[in-house]
Amino acid sequence: MFRFGFSVILSLFILSVSFAAEKIVFIDIQKVVVSSKAGISAQAELESQAKKFKEEIEKKQKAGESESQIRAFAEEKQKELMQKRQKIAEKFMKTLQKAISEFAKSKGYKLVLDKNSLLYGKPELDVTQDFLKYFDENYSTIK
């Protein structure tokens, strides 16, 4: 009788551990950042702004402004670009966190890890493509 009870408890424990393990997944966040519609859009916005600043600097050079004025202007524009990059990155990561939370809840995942923080993970636990599809469908741009 004791053996039977122990076997049942052991079986239930193993079943619950294997079930719990299936609720742990990972996502390649870096891939989402560079491959998602929102990530590509954010990068394009930054590149457009950088190009605009470069053109403004070139105009000042052609207009014959002094080297010190151009350098000061370039430093100011570089600072603006860095602030814009920081603002976009913060908005993107906040949106990404929200999307991961929604995605995890909808799929019943108990734990979502970043692939780049793992030492090892079974390939079948990688849900990057599923999440990327979800993210692109629901967050094509960052507002």
> What is the predicted pLDDT for the residue at 63?
86
The residues that bridge with 5 in the sheet, in sequence order, are none
**Would residue 3 count as lying in a domain?**
no
> What is the predicted pLDDT for the residue at 113?
93
> What is the predicted pLDDT for the residue at 37?
94
**Would residue 9 count as lying in a domain?**
no
Question: Rounded distance, CA 76 to CA 53, Å?
Answer: 10
Count of domains forming the chain: 1
Mean pLDDT by 10 residues, the chain (143 residues): 47 48 86 94 90 89 86 91 93 94 95 92 94 93 73
CATH code of 108's domain = 3.30.910.20
**Would residue 28 count as lying in a domain?**
yes
Residue for token digits 């004791």? 2
**Would residue 11 count as lying in a domain?**
no
**Would residue 106 count as lying in a domain?**
yes
> What is the predicted pLDDT for the residue at 30?
94
Boundaries of domain holding 90: 21-138
> What is the predicted pLDDT for the residue at 12?
45
Alpha helices in the chain (DSSP H): 2-22, 29-35, 37-62, 67-107, 128-138
pTM (predicted TM-score): 0.74
> What is the predicted pLDDT for the residue at 21?
54
> What is the predicted pLDDT for the residue at 134?
96
